[in-house]
Chains A and B, each alone.
Chain A
Amino acid sequence: MADLSRDDLMDQVKQQIALVNAQELLSKMTDKCFKKCIVKPGGSLDGSEQKCVAMCMDRYMDAWNVVSRAYANRLSQERTRMS
């Protein structure tokens, strides 16, 4: 750590944060989509469950984007309203 340059350190921190964020998103999606798509666990993931999981994952990421856009908009609205 002593001979790590500041930029290297920042890069490492950023990478670790990105990794943690990806893991969190992954586990959230797994959780949500398992709940939604696997109603009664059978002997294998059947075709319709697989299709559901695939859709669910894509829609979860869409939802994430919609929410983050809406939240960002609201924050900037509130800022202009208060200034």
Chain B
Amino acid sequence: MNSGFDTSLGSAGMYSGGAPSGSGPLEESLGGAGANAELQEFIAMEQQKQQLRATIQNLTDTCWEKCITGNPGTRLDSKTEACLENCVHRFFDVTVMIANRFASALQRQGGM
């Protein structure tokens, strides 16, 4: 299991929901012991896609609250669209910043 905290920015690192990694009960029931490498790869891929999707869903949620003020119009105006894009980028920045600060805080304490 990962610790849920990762400074490498791998793929959909944010909101890592603790998706099961390696072989779990699901993988085992599908053939187990590497007999079904293709299936395992498929599952790993789908998990990654779901994690990415969850991140985007969460971001949409958060940025909708920040950027869509007032009643929704007939289209997203350019200001709102820019706000949504900025929101994504700033959220990303904050994720990286907090991860780094948290990592150095842990190091200072000599933990992990």
Q: Which residues in A have some Cβ–Cβ distance to B below 8 Å?
A: 6, 9-10, 13-14, 17, 21, 24-25, 28, 32-33, 36-37, 52, 55-56, 58-60, 62-64, 66-68, 70-71, 74-75, 78, 82
Contact = CB atoms under 8 A, between A and B. Distances in A.
Contacts of B72: 33, 36, 52, 55-56, 58-60
Contact of A62 (B43, B53, B61, B76): B76
Chain B interface bracket (under 10, 10 to 19, 20 to 34, 35 or more): 35 or more
Interface of B: 9, 11-12, 30, 36, 38-39, 42-43, 46, 50, 53, 55-57, 59-61, 63-64, 67-68, 71-76, 81, 84-85, 87-89, 92
A71 B59 contact: yes
Given A55-B71, A63-B84, 13 more contacts: A6-B39, A14-B46, A56-B71, A59-B75, A59-B76, A64-B60, A66-B84, A66-B85, A68-B60, A71-B56, A71-B59, A74-B88, A75-B11
A19 to B, nearest CB: 13
Nearest to A66: B84
12 contacts: A6-B36, A9-B39, A14-B46, A32-B64, A36-B72, A56-B72, A62-B76, A63-B68, A66-B81, A68-B60, A70-B88, A71-B88
Contact of B46 (A17, A37, A59, A70): A17
Binding site secondary structure of chain A? helix
Interface centre among A52, A64, A70, A74, by most B CB within 10 Å? A70
Contacts of A59: 68, 72-73, 75-76
